[in-house]
Chain A
Amino acid sequence: DVKVTQSSRYLVKRTGEKVFLECVQDMDHENMFWYRQDPGLGLRLIYFSYDVKMKEKGDIPEGYSVSREKKERFSLILESASTNQTSMYLCASTWGLSYNSPLHFGNGTRLTVT
């Protein structure tokens, strides 16, 4: 079974702090994703990566950056956290980008910025 592990379940950070959210997958998947989930808005794509050191912006990349130095690890970085980045963050991976390769999600990190 695919395992996508997010390092923190809950995080509380102060406005202006630099925040790192870490995600590791154990199935040698090429593609990794970061989403945020907000009530009434569903899941929105922040960034995705289709290979080591390769990344593309999703629908809401502003205020975020990502890093993929190794195939199994995909980090989401909030350079200067703001209160409107309080959210549930979900990491996902998949082996391909075709229709028959559904996303496998981690359990999420609930980030609160005060």
Chain B
Amino acid sequence: DQQVKQNSPSLSVQEGRISILNCDYTNSMFDYFLWYKKYPAEGPTFLISISSIKDKNEDGRFTVFLNKSAKHLSLHIVPSQPGDSAVYFCAASGGQGAQKLVFGQGTRLTINP
């Protein structure tokens, strides 16, 4: 039973355009959400997070939006750059911190020049 789902295995975007990565969850107890980015041959690195008391969090070119009623979050990257090409994982937690993180399947983002 996949509690966190990233339904798009891959996404291709032109350089300079907006990239939108989506994530859906089923567990209404989740109250903290994170995005990790993974390059080939490297471990995931933390990108951005959002608490359920907010509906938006911004960090430079990266913005995460949370729609609690739809149980949906999205990561926007504007403008997209070639270095953003990576696999992006969303993760959710329900009050117990890092040890209870549930990850999605990942979306491979390719930025085309």
Contact = CB atoms under 8 A, between A and B. Distances in A.
Given A40-B105, A42-B89, A43-B89, A48 B45 contact: no
A45 B101 contact: yes
Contact of B43 (A90, A97, A98): A90
A103 interface: yes
19 contacts: A31-B98, A42-B6, A42-B105, A42-B106, A43-B89, A43-B91, A50-B99, A90-B43, A90-B44, A97-B97, A101-B97, A101-B98, A102-B46, A103-B36, A103-B98, A103-B101, A105-B44, A108-B41, A108-B43
Given A4-B43, A105-B45, A107-B43, A42 B51 contact: no
Contacts of A105: 43-45
Interface string A79-110: 00000000000101010111101111111100
A37 B93 CA distance: 18
Q: Nearest 10 A-B pairs (CB), nearest first? A: A105-B43, A97-B97, A102-B46, A42-B103, A43-B103, A42-B105, A99-B32, A105-B44, A48-B99, A97-B98
Contacts, number: 66
Nearest to B42: A107
B34 interface: yes
Contacts of B91: 43
Given A90-B43, A107-B41, A107-B43, A42 B98 contact: no
Contact of A97 (B36, B89, B99, B103): B99
Contacts of A73: none
A26 interface: no
Given A90-B44, A104-B46, 11 more contacts: A31-B99, A42-B6, A42-B104, A43-B44, A44-B103, A98-B97, A99-B93, A102-B34, A103-B98, A105-B44, A108-B42
Interface string B86-113: 0001010100111101011110000000
